[in-house]
Structure 1
Amino acid sequence: MTDTNVLLIVLDAVRADHLSCYGYEHETTPAIDRLAANGVRFEHAFSTSNWTGAAHGSLFTGYLPSKSGIYGDSQKLPEDIPTLAELLSEAGYRTFATSAGAHIRSDRGYDRGFDKFHETFRIRPNHHYLRQFIKNSALRKQTWQTLVHGHDNYTTFKFENLKEWIKSSEDPFFAFINCKTAHHRYNPPRPYKSMFGPDVNRPRWEFAELLQRRLGKEPQSVDGFDMDRLTAMSRQYPVIADEFNPSDNEWEIIKTWYDGAIRYMDDQLADLLSFLRSAGKMDDTLVIVTADHGDLFGEHDLEKHQYSLLDKLLHIPLVMSPPSDRRETISNMVSFVDLFPTILDITNAEVPDRPNATTLTPLTDRVFHDYLFAEVGRKSPEPVQRAYPSFTESEYNGPVQSIRDKRYKLVRSPNSIRRLCDWRQDPKETSDLSDELSTVRERLEQELEESVKSMDDSILNDDIDDDRLKQHLKDLGYR
């Protein structure tokens, strides 16, 4: 075992092309940019799925969804597969996690191997809240943040709790945080919602805004735009339901809200990194910043991350700042699942064999994979139907599996639908080359058949008794 601490930050629903260190026009990520400039940035990192549950299943088991079984109606980590945290704990690491709540939770086995495991969906005003408010400085800061500047999906609580834990924990440590501020509803705290676009007219304090909502009033507006449409675009699925077709200007507004949320998380990360430096921990800590998937803003008449395996969903940022002085930009393709063996390798923990995952160490540019895979099971139409009851189904629904080599990507959908694109030359995936390049299609299809398991048509149907979790899932647009 080495003395290297590991800090793993997953920015939920953040696509690579909205980070300034990946060429984005807005300065959304100055802190991550500095990490990238002084560390290792992977240009072509791809997730294993298009949503949190399946992607994190890969991160914690080292397997693709079809192999681990974490898709559709099965979302629990298999008990016979050791998790990333369990292996690190066995290697002598102190372990900490703050979950995203909706999908990464203890009743699915994600707490296994963690000394501290916080579930933010459980933070609800009640008599327990008052006791915790008195004892927990992180909760007091989160309450102030929420009532004054606006809700940040508990990013403040997560980072402040981590700081307190690091102060009292022995090295080496492994800390995992999933930050969800950029997840739809795209409503970052003041002043971030107006940082990259037109002013959002809203009350000065969040508690006044909450009061107006309780009274049935819409407290926000943007001059020259229909706020009802913008609200539907940020919270619901009007495009998938074919309810209306947003204009380019409307999509630009939504993107600026999303960008503001990314910048907010980046600023919180900057504060956390400053804490690590002042605590004398930075030189002994591997910092990894990545995402589990991206989001869509009208591409291919889709939105958010309900359906499809388009690369705007799969292409994720991946930046590592190792304790050693290494500056590198890696252009060869890597997978989100590679973090499982990489973290174990760097910490000298046991590295179980995983057929579709490889360690990224040493952190130098080379061919890591001949092929990368992504998968998503079948999804319920209920999140769309909640606002649009007449919606029935999407042609993009799963189960869907994809395979890519160094140039081409094949997507296999139900009913034997195949779509081939040149993902390097056509990143928007506008041209289907299936007929033109039939030999490439057949080669990739054969490799897909031989390398991954098939997926059944089961649909996630979470039978949840916990009212706090039900409300959290509803807040995130899943119910």
Structure 2
Amino acid sequence: MDAVWIILDSLSFDATPFDDDGPETMPNIKSLATKHGTIYTEAYSPGPTSPSSHSSFFTGELPSRTGMHEATPYYDEEYPTIVQRLSDTHRTFMISSNPFIFNGLDKGVDMYDDFLQKQYLVFESATDPRDVPKSSTDSKIDLLRKVVFEGGKPLRSFVNGLSLYYKNSKGQSLLPEDSPDDDEKYQYADTTNNRIKEFLSQSSGDSFVIANYMDIHAPLDASSESVKKFSDKPRDELPVGVRGQDVHREVTEGNTELGEDMYDLYKATITDTDRKIYPLVKELVEDDTFVVITADHGNWFRRSRDLERKRIHVPLIIFSPNHEGGRVVDHTVNLRSLPKTTMMALRGDDGGFSGADLLSIKEDQLSITEFIHNSKADGSPVTPTGSMDARYDFALIRGDARVDHIDGEFVERSGKSADLHDLRETGEELVDQNYQTGNEGADVTTEAQDRLRELGYID
């Protein structure tokens, strides 16, 4: 059986129609889920940002165990990932424009697309083979001659050409610089969809795809048609292309109008994404593919706290050919259980992953969301190159009960005293365990830095 994870980066549950009071941003996916899927209304992310959540998605472990979180956002491969567990039965593909997804979690993947167009360059100072002028009459020898001799560094340029040829021959595709499939500058869904379909069409056996869609992560853009549904302002008066961190800074300083404008643009972008991914999801479901649609965290440009509910409460829909559709699950769950749930659906065993089989739960599960970060760093909660100066915060949720641990202090948010007591005991056990970190001073390429700067992680 094929499996596809669709991770809609930065999608808050309360910004979707799966919330009783939510806006009509995803009518197509909601209609499909109501008929064929299992909808979870109390799903929580393992972390408040991409690194921590994805490390748990891949391993089934807490971010404090994987060592990949906001303080050290790269994976040192201590625990096996679901990609590695499925390597003997499934051909695997990862795609995202988020550099954090490829900080070690991609080991063992058969094919990837990271949208970083110059990943093949061994020598940045030499000729880029994709920049060489081409004509329809050029032979391969003609192209090679241009690559080698036009830049003044023939040996290094030749190595760059070989590197590009090798990556293309291995199926490690590169997003064309001049022909993306999306009209909007900050949207990638059509391109991502096409790459997924291309990969699946080329696979003779079973396949597993992990797709992290960055369309809903600031900076944002949306079609004028979708903007009209949520804003009285024309598209060109909304904060198109503005980094989320910059919006958050101004909102914190009192610019509430910018926050509202950004949220309207955010909802419009969700609607565009719903329209774009629906045909792919429908086709996958009709082909009896195991499909997960979820998010790694909610929006961050209007946050007041990094562990606030709207930041870690995310949508989750599972389409499983072996389970009846149209179900709604109101029990508390955590997305750390994704690898176990997927393994149970594909192979009938848990693959050694912890957590719960989300398709079989009958009661509230314990949700642990961890936030391990350098609280002294300005701006983004993530330190791209790593920091050993970290603080361990977390949120524990089960049913109506919630206990947080913030800056060394427990905070009882809601729930009955007996339930709060149980959560606090769990929290004390977590505090007593030493959280793991990666190594400080990780190497971040120039191109990855540019992408992280655009996403708001670097000023």
**What TM-score results when the alignment is normalised by the length of structure 1?**
0.75
8 Å contact kept, 1:10–1:179: yes
Note the alpha carbon deviations across 1:378-403, whole angstroms, 9 max, x for none.
136555299xxxxxxxxxx9421121
Q: Distance in 2 between matches of 1:87 and 1:457?
A: 23
Please state how far the C-alpha of 1:28 moved relative to its aligned partner.
0.8
Structure 1 partner of 2:28: 31
Q: Distance in 1 between matches of 2:380 and 2:68?
A: 24
Q: Which of 62, 65, 68 is the matching residue for 1:64?
A: 62
What secondary structure does 2:3 align onto? Answer: strand
Matched, 1:245 2:254: yes
Matched, 1:402 2:405: no
8 Å contact kept, 1:12–1:291: yes
Q: Which of 287, 291, 298 is the matching residue for 2:291?
A: 287
Note the alpha carbon deviations across 1:216-236, whole angstroms, 9 max, x for none.
xxxxx25xxxx79x9577734
Please state how far the C-alpha of 1:59 moved relative to its aligned partner.
0.5
Letter in 2 for 1:421: R
Q: Which of 96, 103, 109 is the matching residue for 1:99?
A: 96
Please state how far the C-alpha of 1:141 moved relative to its aligned partner.
10
Please state how far the C-alpha of 1:43 moved relative to its aligned partner.
1.0
Matched, 1:115 2:105: no
Structure 2 partner of 1:326: 325
Structure 2 partner of 1:342: 341
Pick closer, same or farther for the CA change 1:259–1:379 going to 2, 3 Å: farther
What secondary structure does 2:87 align onto? Answer: helix
Q: Distance in 1 between matches of 2:282 and 2:8?
A: 19
Q: Which of 398, 417, 420 is the matching residue for 2:412?
A: 420
Letter in 1 for 2:266: Y
Q: Distance in 1 between matches of 2:185 and 2:59?
A: 32
Range that drifts further, 153-162 or 8-17: 153-162
Structure 2 partner of 1:199: 233
- State the number of aligned residues: 407
Q: Distance in 2 between matches of 1:76 and 1:30?
A: 36
Pick closer, same or farther for the CA change 1:95–1:142 going to 2, 3 Å: farther
Q: Distance in 1 between matches of 2:46 and 2:133?
A: 37
Q: Distance in 2 between matches of 1:405 and 1:11?
A: 24
Q: Distance in 1 between matches of 2:230 and 2:193?
A: 24
Q: Distance in 2 between matches of 1:55 and 1:453?
A: 22
Matched, 1:268 2:276: yes
Please state how far the C-alpha of 1:150 moved relative to its aligned partner.
2.2
Pick closer, same or farther for the CA change 1:454–1:190 going to 2, 3 Å: farther
8 Å contact kept, 2:9–2:295: yes
Q: Distance in 1 between matches of 2:380 and 2:430?
A: 35
8 Å contact kept, 2:99–2:451: yes
Range that drifts further, 44-53 or 456-465: 456-465
Please state how far the C-alpha of 1:118 moved relative to its aligned partner.
1.3
What secondary structure does 1:112 align onto? Answer: coil
Alignment RMSD (CA, Å) = 3.5
User: Superposition pairs for residues 48-447 of structure 1, below 5 Å?
Assistant: 48-90=46-88, 92-105=89-102, 108-122=103-117, 127-129=128-130, 139=175, 143-145=179-181, 149-202=183-236, 221=237, 231=242, 235-239=246-250, 242=252, 244-247=253-256, 249-276=257-284, 282-296=286-300, 298=302, 302=304, 308-324=306-322, 325-348=324-347, 351-355=350-354, 357-362=355-360, 366-367=362-363, 369=365, 371-379=366-374, 382=377, 384=379, 398-414=391-407, 416-422=408-414, 441-447=420-426
**What TM-score results when the alignment is normalised by the length of structure 2?**
0.78
Note the alpha carbon deviations across 1:403-423, whole angstroms, 9 max, x for none.
122221111111x32221227
Please state how far the C-alpha of 1:187 moved relative to its aligned partner.
2.6
Please state how far the C-alpha of 1:348 moved relative to its aligned partner.
1.0
Structure 2 partner of 1:210: none
Please state how far the C-alpha of 1:26 moved relative to its aligned partner.
2.9
Pick closer, same or farther for the CA change 1:235–1:268 going to 2, 3 Å: farther
Instruction: Report percent identity of matched pairs.
Output: 20
8 Å contact kept, 1:49–1:293: yes
Pick closer, same or farther for the CA change 1:452–1:477 going to 2, 3 Å: same
8 Å contact kept, 2:113–2:175: no
Q: Which of 435, 442, 449 is the matching residue for 1:470?
A: 449
Pick closer, same or farther for the CA change 1:468–1:328 going to 2, 3 Å: same
Q: Please list every run of 5 or more consecutive structure 1 residues that lacks an aligned counterpart in the other structure.
A: 203-220, 387-396, 424-436
Letter in 2 for 1:85: V
Q: Please list every run of 5 or more consecutive structure 2 residues that lacks an aligned counterpart in the other structure.
A: 122-126, 137-167, 382-389
Structure 1 partner of 2:148: none
Letter in 1 for 2:346: T
What secondary structure does 2:101 align onto? Answer: coil
Please state how far the C-alpha of 1:336 moved relative to its aligned partner.
0.5
Structure 2 partner of 1:17: 14
Please state how far the C-alpha of 1:200 moved relative to its aligned partner.
2.8
What secondary structure does 2:11 align onto? Answer: coil
Letter in 2 for 1:351: D
Structure 1 partner of 2:428: 449
Q: Distance in 2 between matches of 1:47 and 1:132?
A: 47
Q: Distance in 2 between matches of 1:464 and 1:178?
A: 22
Letter in 2 for 1:293: H
What secondary structure does 2:347 align onto? Answer: coil
Q: Distance in 2 between matches of 1:61 and 1:132?
A: 44
